[in-house]
Amino acid sequence: MSSANRRIFRMTYYDHVTEAAAFLGAGFQSLAPPLNPKLGIVLGSGLGALADSVVDPLIVPYSEIPHFPRATVEGHSGRIVAGYLGPIPTGSSATPQSPTTAPVLIMQGRVHSYEGYSPLQVTLPIRVLGALGIRAVILTNAAGGIHPDYHVGQLVLLSDHINMMGWSPLTGPNEPRFGFRPGSGLRFFDMTEPYSKPLRELAQQSAQDEGFSLEEGVYVATLGPSFETPAEIRAFRTLGATLVGMSTVPETIVARHMGIDVLGISCVTNLAAGLGSKPLSHEEVNETGRMVEQRLAALLKRLAPKIAATLEAQP
Ligand code: HPA
């Protein structure tokens, strides 16, 4: 065995995370001014439009990042787009205080467990965000609407979730080195407020500025890849879920383990199984995503600078 192989053989998951973070961090530091994003944004199925608004972006396909999983699903492009939403700050300061701009790290596309990835692989990108110093993350997704009042194309803030995937990304030995924030990285930790109330309030303000309001809902995560049966949807409604999807929950769990604040936003791309008149399809999910992605992008463009300003003000 060559020495290179021996080194790889001994690498741990934590090493993979830090190597991927070092690779991206070096890219950010090579920019003028260097980029220090504290806000991460994950754009789900067909919701990638926001990435086009990043000024002078650094674009890195997932395939170029060491140890990063590659997206295999149509509608998930699979690249990091990092830069500023709003004007690039001038002068010597690399950390903009202006609420009109936000340094951001956008993940355009994500991987899912149904693609064959392990829970650790699915959540590796969120671990990398933690290692890069990200303090708040906006997780967006396409979801089926369970609540009878929801309509296709609606954006809904997550207030809570139900994990029906049958696994947690945190099973196995705890890795305390992922405690990048004080009081985080614990074996057991509180999930009373998985989706940050202050971030939801900022999102409501931004929606109002855009002329609409946001409902809040409870997202149930399933493994997929088949859509649910009508009986499953009735069961989920009885349990208190108002949205159903195949992502986000593992990312939220891992982000909270690292002490990262989470904002979840679902786009209702279809009525959940048994509630509409036609069969569900991935095409419908992508089509609705394309209809809504500009509105989501407008919301996030207003919201990101507000969040960035609060993060800059934190110690
Ligand atoms: N079920 C699960 N995942 C989804 C759905 C759905 O109806 N729509 C978009 N993602």
Structurally, the chain folds into a number of domains equal to: 1
Q: State if residue 244 touches ligand 1 by the CB under 6 angstroms criterion.
A: yes
Please state, in angstroms and rounded to a whole number, the distance separating the CA atoms of residues 314 and 200.
Answer: 18
Q: Give 47's pLDDT tier (boundaries 50, 70, 90).
A: confident
Catalytic site positions: 45, 76, 112, 114-115, 142, 246-247, 270, 282
Decide if pLDDT at 29 tops 90.
yes
Among 7, 310, 15, 29, residue whose Cα is nearest residue 178: 15
Cite the beta strand spans of the chain per DSSP E: 39-43, 55-61, 79-85, 102-108, 136-145, 155-163, 215-221, 243-245, 261-271
Compute the distance from residue 143 Cα to the ligand 1 centre, in Å.
4
Query: Residues 183-211: what's their mean pLDDT?
Result: 96
Distance 181 CA to ligand 1 centre (A): 33
Instruction: Give the pLDDT confidence of 107-153 residue by residue, as tens digits.
Output: 999 999 999 999 999 999 999 999 999 999 999 999 999 999 999 99
Q: Which residues, 6+ apart, have CB-to-CB distance to 287 below 8 Å? A: 46
How many Cα atoms are found within 13 Å in the side-chain-facing hemisphere of 8?
7
Residue nearest to atom 9 of ligand 1 (CA): 143
For the CA of 144, the nearest atom of ligand 1: 7
Instruction: Answer whether residue 95 shows pLDDT above 80.
Output: no
The whole-number pLDDT of residue 48 equals 85
Task: Tell how far the Cα of 223 is from the centroid of ligand 1, in angstroms.
Answer: 11
Domain CATH number, residue 79: 3.40.50.1580
Q: CB of 275 closer than 6 A to ligand 1?
A: no
Taking alpha carbons only, the member of 101, 97, 98, 99 closest to residue 88 is 101
298's enclosing H/E stretch is helix 282-313
Handedness of CA 178, 183, 187, 191 (dihedral sign): negative
Which atom of ligand 1 is nearest to 246's Cα? 3
Report the DSSP beta bridge partners of residue 104.
Answer: 39, 83
pLDDT at 202 over 70: yes
pLDDT score at 88: 74
* Residue identifier of the C-alpha nearest atom 6 of ligand 1: 144
Per the CB < 8 A criterion, the answer to whether 83 and 35 are in contact is yes
Residue 212's pLDDT band, with cuts at 50, 70 and 90, is: very high
Find the domain containing 105 and state its range: 3-313
Is the pLDDT reported for residue 236 higher than 50? yes
Q: Is residue 245 in contact with ligand 1, taking CB distance under 6 Å?
A: yes
pTM: 0.93
Q: What is the mean pLDDT of residues 85-102?
A: 67
Q: Is 184 exposed, middle or buried (0-12, 13-18, 19+ CB in 10 A)?
A: middle
How many Å lie between the centroid of ligand 1 and the Cα of residue 224? 9
